[in-house]
Amino acid sequence: MHLTQLPPYPVPLCVSAWVLIAASMDIVSRRIPNWLVGSGLVVALAVQIWLHGAAAGSLTWLAGAATGFAAFLPFYLLRGMAAGDVKLMAMVGAWLGASAACNVVLATFIVGGIGSVLLVAGRGHLVRLLRNVRTLVLRTLFQLAPRGMPAWSGKADQESVGSIPYGVAIAAGTLGVLSAMAG
């Protein structure tokens, strides 16, 4: 993971505040509200333009948002993540730019993966989680198989292991990367 230098003030302070608010809302309601993400995107665009000028700021904002969105979208499409998590990661990317967004995505996947397994294990659903992952992998492999291969005949819907406030992992990944960039 290549870390660039810390973004200029007020970016670290603002993105930290937004992800902490999002994480706390996700813990309480298991939702990341659109108004929160939308306001973060609008303010991030204004700040990027203020810091870098209209063209460069808009490009930094767009590249970062697209990077965060694209990294999480496949997991939403596979029903492994909620739409609010995808939008929150896009907002983080809009604040930090594409390069730092890649680092946050990687850190978030590590923190989120470990945290999710610990949370599910604490709830006593680890075996169910492993079955669900196996089914997801097999279903994906069958969908990618060449035509003429047998179709997936496994169980269509797996029993959920419960919701996981992934906004917490996004906040932890963001704050961890910012901390590493600072020091």
Query: pLDDT of 90-116, one tens digit each?
Result: 999 999 999 999 999 999 999 999 998
Asked whether the beta carbons of 67 and 102 are under 8 A apart, the reply is yes
121 versus 44: the higher-pLDDT residue is 44
pLDDT at 157 over 60: no
Residue in the block written with tokens 């808009």: 58
| Alpha carbon of residue 39 to chain centroid | 17
Specify the pLDDT at position 177.
97
What's the mean pLDDT when you consider all of the chain? 89
Specify the pLDDT at position 12.
96
Closest Cα to residue 164, out of 116, 126, 114, 97?
Answer: 116
Asked whether the beta carbons of 8 and 51 are under 8 A apart, the reply is yes
Structure tokens that stand for 57 in this block: 């700021």
CA distances 73 to 136, 139, 158, Å, are 16, 18, 20
Specify the pLDDT at position 80.
81
Specify the pLDDT at position 2.
63
Query: pLDDT of 25-58, one tens digit each?
Result: 999 999 999 999 999 999 999 999 999 999 999 9
Say how far apart CA 102 and CA 129 lie, in whole Å.
Answer: 27
Per-range mean pLDDT, top range of 3-12, 37-46, 140-149: 37-46
Beta-carbon contacts of 96 under 8 Å, excluding residues fewer than 6 positions away, are 7, 11, 15, 64, 104, 174, 177
pLDDT-above-90 percentage for the chain: 64
pLDDT at 180 over 70: yes
pLDDT band at 1 (very low <50, low <70, confident <90, very high): low
Asked whether the beta carbons of 61 and 94 are under 8 A apart, the reply is yes
